[in-house]
Chain A
Amino acid sequence: MGRLFQRMPWITRLGLMLVVLFALAALFGPFVAPYPEAATVGDVWQPIGTEGFLFGTDTLGRDMLSRLLYGAQRSIGLALIITVISFTVGAICGFLAAIAGGWVDQLASRIVDVFMSFPALILALLVLSVMGSSLPVLVLTLAFIDGTRVFRLARAVAVDLNVLEFVEAARLRGEGQWWIARKEILPNALPMLLAEFGVRFCFSFLLISALSFLGLGIQPPAADWGGMVKDNAQALAFGLPAPLLPAGCIALLTISVNLVVDFMLDQAARRSRRG
């Protein structure tokens, strides 16, 4: 691990440090926030740097910093939960489809193809418009959309590995499918899957932020970054950059994660070239 850090270019290290910083904010944000999440504590739209309000106040006079910290936990936490669900289900299904092969694989792949031929945001809008935007609906919908993408990648990686001769050797020996998936395929798929975890996290994080921005995600008065952009959009008209704060947080986190992912993909490509 230390050697890996040594090999990183400075920009990847920066990305990694920012990711850690955001993770800390998500973990401890609510404990260190100076004000409660939804309390009106000052005048409306105080600019950045106002006495007592480091990042100013929002459209209802709530403390921006506090809401950003609470929002970190909610936005990042939700995206993480979604990714973990979609990853567990998607990767296991993808591996099993690849190892099983035959009609099981064909059927599962065609179904996933159909869902993937549909733009994610539209699909989410469709379901949320009817089901309403409750937390479980939001999580399950996004996990499903995300899961189809994980399935496709996990399957592709496993199909590639499955034809390699060391897997065939295990099969000839008489090893069970589960053993092959766990011992032969998983260790070799791990670098790709780790990188994919980052990609999928960004995907669901951006999607959930977009939905909140459209008013269909996390519902007020709970703070989340996408919703905060929407709430404060009007401030721009008065020359205040208030919506840029939460939007910038979203951008910075996704960029940081992608920087780390890029590095990991590069490492995985190097490793696979070495054979």
Chain B
Amino acid sequence: MLLEIKDLRIDGSDLDGKTVEIVKGVSLSVDRGQVLGLIGESGAGKSTIGLAALGYVRPGCRFTGGSVRLDGQDVVNAPLDLLLQIRGRKVAYVAQSAAASFNPAHRLIDQICEVHQRHGLGPRADAEKRTVELFRKLGLPAPENFGQRYPHQVSGGQLQRAMTVMALIAKPDLVVFDEPTTALDVTTQIEVLAAMRAAIREEGAAALYVTHDLAVVAQVADKILVLRHGNAVELGDTRQVLEAPREEYTRALVSVRKSESNERGAHAKAPVLEVQSIDAAYGQQKVLFDVSLLVEHAATVAVVGESGSGKSTLARVITGLLPPSKGRIRFQGEDLSPALAGRTKEHRRRLQLIYQMPDVAVNPRHTVLEIIGRPLTFYAGLRGADVRRKVEELLARIELPAHFADRFPGELSGGQKQRVCIARALAAEPELIICDEVTSALDPLVADEILKLLLKLQDEQGVSYLFITHDLATVKAIAHEVVVMQRGRVVDSGRKEEVMAPPFHDYTGKLLRSVPEMRTDWLDEVLAGRV
């Protein structure tokens, strides 16, 4: 038994300084060479447990009970100098944000070799040799010279691999990976994931892999521990957890987004929005090139792409926030003014937008009543009791109780805030709602509920959606039509059944193949398929 955690309890403090229990008695164990996946939504305590394996708690947190033993050694009560010997040497850490976790003032090689030298593992030349070897193993370009660069001089995916090198340099027995691919694009994620998995297997290290993405952890972990609100929910072999989950919560996580598919009802094919040959630029930087698309009544068009594809810029152009330099936008058969200032109140009402981050999309100083009520007053001229009656009606439609009208956003969860944003858009009785990554800031189960709500509302109201997303699972669940964007251009488009079925367009195929699937042999198949 390499790592053994028993009944671990950790307290932290919230923003008001009140003490809250983050980890509520979790036990787990990791054998040599074994990979354990820790999975859970935000607030599950998974990162806190990962750090506890290094005998570390973040400032403001403290161990309150239980034990953490690494190779038999108690690391919770160990003196600091012993911990210093263990950290980096026996157990190493890979953080989520490589960009922030490398010191901007030093070269990569110096930061990596520092571990080797601090632990007295031999001369610097040896450390450098091993670093280059690991660079090569992780597929970094020009491994001999790669370390000479500063952190800001390499890409995010490369930096994440460099951090894995830093973790592996001293041949640790255990590596803690804390959401190492979450910040990366899907096509980058698959490369990094494959490189990291190959490296820990070759090095024979055990790993604790912390993530919120079950499909990702399925590719690397031997066993999975599901966490929720600081408690262990289910522990099992990866295959068992995925194929035969025992607990209700795990079942929900596994089946997330597998079920729905948006069947299009019979409807008139009247176009709601036509985007015709749009070019757009931020200052001198051109970001959209000849983009066209069409949204029909009561239909959902998904715009997919990775970061830098211009998909969010497209949303800004359609809403009028960024006037295009070329092309035109037609809305229900009328020309839309390119600039926001030129649009009529009626046009604004019929075209609504829902944002990615519900936290900043609603004014924290307004009540839900004010937030949802304002469009009612602004567009329909409702006042007083009429507003409240209508707001309560809308709250019922988004499945929130009527008394939420008097709450402030600070008293709502992320998912509830997003529901309020949806209600605010609905209050305007729009024809088209642009959804800009509306589920990507939410936990999978919450995201799932939001998608179901959007589908239900479409059935009831016949509203159209333009769905901006990077997540192909969302596309599969909700779209009728798909538009694939890459570097500011539309590279593929059409009905979902055609775009997302073979034969694929090159880039669409690459995107689809990069999305981790919830089965254990997915990564192997993809890698095998390349050769």
Contact = CB atoms under 8 A, between A and B. Distances in A.
Given A172-B319, A172-B353, A273-B15, A165 B360 contact: yes
B216 to A, nearest CB: 27
A174 B348 contact: yes
A174 B340 CA distance: 8
Interface string B474-488: 000000000000000
A113 B226 CA distance: 56
B298 interface: no
Contacts, number: 50
Interface string A164-202: 111011011111000000011001100000000000000
Contacts of A168: 321
Nearest to B344: A174
Interface residues of B, number: 27
A110 interface: no
B375 interface: yes
Nearest to A275: B359
Contacts of B364: 188, 275
B363 A270 contact: no
A183 B364 CA distance: 11
Contacts of B428: 173
Interface string B326-352: 000000000000001001010010000
Interface in B352-385: 353, 355, 357, 359-366, 374-375, 378-379
Interface string B303-318: 0000000000000000
A175 B320 CA distance: 14
Residue of B353, B363, B366, B375 most packed against chain A (CB within 10 A):
B363
B410 interface: yes
B340 A166 contact: no
Contact of A175 (B353, B366, B378): B378
B375 A173 contact: yes
B371 to A, nearest CB: 8
B42 to A, nearest CB: 14
A169 B353 contact: yes
Given A175-B378, A275-B360, A165 B355 contact: yes
B197 to A, nearest CB: 36
Interface in B373-404: 374-375, 378-379
B15 A274 contact: yes
A274 to B, nearest CB: 5
Contacts of A171: 340
Contacts of A165: 355, 357, 360-361
A4 to B, nearest CB: 13
Nearest to A190: B365
In the complex, which range does the number of interface residues on chain A fall in? Answer: 10 to 19
Contacts of B424: 169
Interface string A249-275: 000000000000000000000100111
A84 B110 CA distance: 56
A267 to B, nearest CB: 11
Nearest to B356: A165
Contacts of A164: 360
A26 B143 CA distance: 73
A98 to B, nearest CB: 17
Contact of B365 (A187, A274, A275): A187
Contacts of B360: 164-166, 275
A5 to B, nearest CB: 16
Nearest to A167: B363
Contacts of A173: 348, 374-375, 378-379, 428
Nearest to B434: A172
Contacts of A274: 15, 410
Contacts of B321: 168, 172
A188 B361 CA distance: 14
B400 to A, nearest CB: 19
A174 to B, nearest CB: 5
Nearest to B316: A168
Contacts of B355: 165, 169
Residue of B355, B361, B365, B375 most packed against chain A (CB within 10 A):
B365
A30 B345 CA distance: 59
A174 B410 contact: no
A270 B378 contact: no
Contact of A174 (B361, B366, B378): B378
A112 B375 CA distance: 38
Residue of A166, A184, A270 most packed against chain B (CB within 10 A):
A166
A43 to B, nearest CB: 57
A167 to B, nearest CB: 8
Interface in A119-168: 164-166, 168
A184 B353 CA distance: 18
| Top-6 shortest CB links A-B | A187-B365, A166-B363, A165-B361, A275-B359, A165-B355, A174-B348
Interface of B: 15-16, 319-321, 340, 343, 345, 348, 353, 355, 357, 359-366, 374-375, 378-379, 410, 424, 428
20 contacts: A165-B357, A165-B361, A169-B355, A169-B424, A172-B340, A172-B348, A173-B375, A173-B378, A173-B379, A173-B428, A174-B343, A174-B348, A183-B363, A183-B366, A184-B363, A187-B366, A188-B363, A270-B15, A275-B359, A275-B410
